[in-house]
Amino acid sequence: MKVIDSTAGLQQHRSLISSRVGFVPTMGNLHLGHISLLDRALKENDDVYFSIFVNPTQFGPGEDFSKYPRTLQDDLKLIEKKASEYPGKGVIVFAPKSPEEIYPSTGIKTVTVPDLKHILEGEFRPTHFDGVTTVVYRLFDLVRPLRSYFGLKDYQQYVIIKQMVQQEKLAVEIIGMPIIREADGLAMSSRNQYLTPDQRRASLILYQSLSTVLKLLNHDLGNLPKARALMKELENDPNWNYLELRDSETLSEDVSRSKQVTILGVYQFGSTRLLDNMQMEIK
């Protein structure tokens, strides 16, 4: 495993590599979800770049940028352990030493995916997705991967990145990886550690509500009125930021012709917003 902390160092390293390159962008504070992305990337590519960068531009005012957990040394140990299962494959960690490595004063293209950035998460975090698409575009430009791996926990982010790749005509395949859950169903997330013990116990509401709605839908749009009625009832609890059923590909509210739907929910525990989602095929 090699660790690089400058853009110049990354570019120099990348210029020497011509093999199949996979890329896993992260903000660090790694858990098993991130490691599952690395595992798949190592299976499918010769060399894997893994970035760790807490991207300031995707945090809004008053959000958790300054308190976002930065645990580089622990992260490196986890990456090294996974990498050791794949001798012969190259693992290059890119952990920029300062934001200026990513955002020099000139020459950075701001990338935006206009149609999807204001809905769902975008209603609560209006500048978030511009920050995400801009940094991912910048990282793709530096790493030039054949494939890049994203967790489906941030489902809207995954759809937006896929749309960005089409819009900007980038030659990278976007691979979405299943959510990794705790034993009781809570989706793994770096933000789970913000929960108090009481909030952690209460957090099951997210997994259970999503599961119950999908069980009622049971792969059949004929059950949609019942499922929507249940969602409306659940949303009487003001701690839901949203609970929505959308087309999995377009995130459209109109699911009448959908082959697959996604239920997306965000529940607020104090100042911590937890996201979850589940997919269901329609027969």
- Please give the positions annotated as active site: 34
Extended beta strands in the chain, E state: 2-4, 21-26, 47-52, 90-94, 147-151, 173-177, 240-247, 260-269, 272-281
CB of 154 to ligand PAF, least distance (A): 5
CB of 62 to ligand PAF, least distance (A): 18
Which residue's CB is nearer to ligand PAF, number 25 or number 255?
Answer: 25
Which residue's CB is nearer to ligand PAF, number 139 or number 243?
Answer: 139
Write out the two tokens for 198: 């009481």
Residues lying near ligand PAF in the complex (CB under 6 A): 25-27, 55, 58, 132, 135-136, 154, 157
Write out the two tokens for 184: 């009781």
Phi, psi of 20, rounded to the nearest 5 degrees = -70, 120
Phi, psi of 86, rounded to the nearest 5 degrees = -125, 65
Which of 236, 272, 274, 17 is closest to 142 using CA atoms?
17
* Helix (H/G/I), strand (E/B), else coil: 97: coil
Residue 116, phi-psi category: left (phi > 0), alpha (psi -120 to 50), beta (remainder)? alpha
The answer to whether 203 touches 181, Cβ cutoff 8 Å, is: no
Sign of CA pseudo-dihedral 36, 64, 240, 242: negative
Which residue's CB is nearer to ligand PAF, number 132 or number 213?
Answer: 132
Which of 151, 275, 272 is closest to 263 using CA atoms?
275
CB of 114 to ligand PAF, least distance (A): 18
CB of 134 to ligand PAF, least distance (A): 9
Which residue's CB is nearer to ligand PAF, number 70 or number 228?
Answer: 70
Question: Using CA atoms, how far apart are residues 102 and 138, in angstroms rounded to an integer?
Answer: 7
C-alpha of 276 from chain center: 11
Which residue's CB is nearer to ligand PAF, number 155 or number 280?
Answer: 155
Which residue's CB is nearer to ligand PAF, number 154 or number 244?
Answer: 154
CB of 40 to ligand PAF, least distance (A): 15
CB of 104 to ligand PAF, least distance (A): 17
